[in-house]
Amino acid sequence: DGGITQSPKYLFRKEGQNVTLSCEQNLNHDAMYWYRQDPGQGLRLIYYSQIVNDFQKGDIAEGYSVSREKKESFPLTVTSAQKNPTAFYLCASTPDRGNQPQHFGDGTRLSIL
């Protein structure tokens, strides 16, 4: 969906370095999500936020941090504590708290140098 923008498309991280992945949406959606995708493992939830200034850990939150200071933005920081960060990261959003389809961004591919 053109309404969710992830940047950069490709990102390289050095050992011991924190990196931040950007996710911006102009869909006026309340909820936003970060997923990690590894080959053969589907999508796993890292963090999600249902409202500004609030977020919850997903299934694999260790080594990651997020913030939700604005409705349209939900950046993900991959910290040095995440020992295996190489993956495809997907951001998604939904309109409200009800069961609504999640709309995904184009993803960021993170690799270790």
Partner 1 sequence: GENVEQHPSTLSVQEGDSAVIKCTYSDSASNYFPWYKQELGKRPQLIIDIRSNVGEKKDQRIAVTLNKTAKHFSLHITETQPEDSAVYFCAASNGFGNEKLTFGTGTRLTIIP
- The residue ranges that bind partner 1 (CB under 8 A) are 1, 31, 33, 35, 40-45, 48, 50, 58-59, 90, 94, 97-107
Pick 18 or 51: Cβ nearer partner 1: 51
DSSP one-letter code for 37: E
Of 107, 104, 109, residue with least CA distance to 27: 104
Pick 18 or 111: Cβ nearer partner 1: 111
Residue 67 CA to residue 103 CA, distance in Å, equals 19
Handedness of CA 107, 22, 60, 35 (dihedral sign): negative
State in angstroms the smallest separation of the CB of 16 from partner 1: 29
Pick 41 or 84: Cβ nearer partner 1: 41
Q: State the amino acid at position 33 in one-letter form.
A: Y
Pick 70 or 106: Cβ nearer partner 1: 106
State in angstroms the smallest separation of the CB of 80 from partner 1: 27
Residue 76 CA to residue 49 CA, distance in Å, equals 12
Residue 39 CA to residue 50 CA, distance in Å, equals 28
State in angstroms the smallest separation of the CB of 53 from partner 1: 17
State in angstroms the smallest separation of the CB of 108 from partner 1: 11
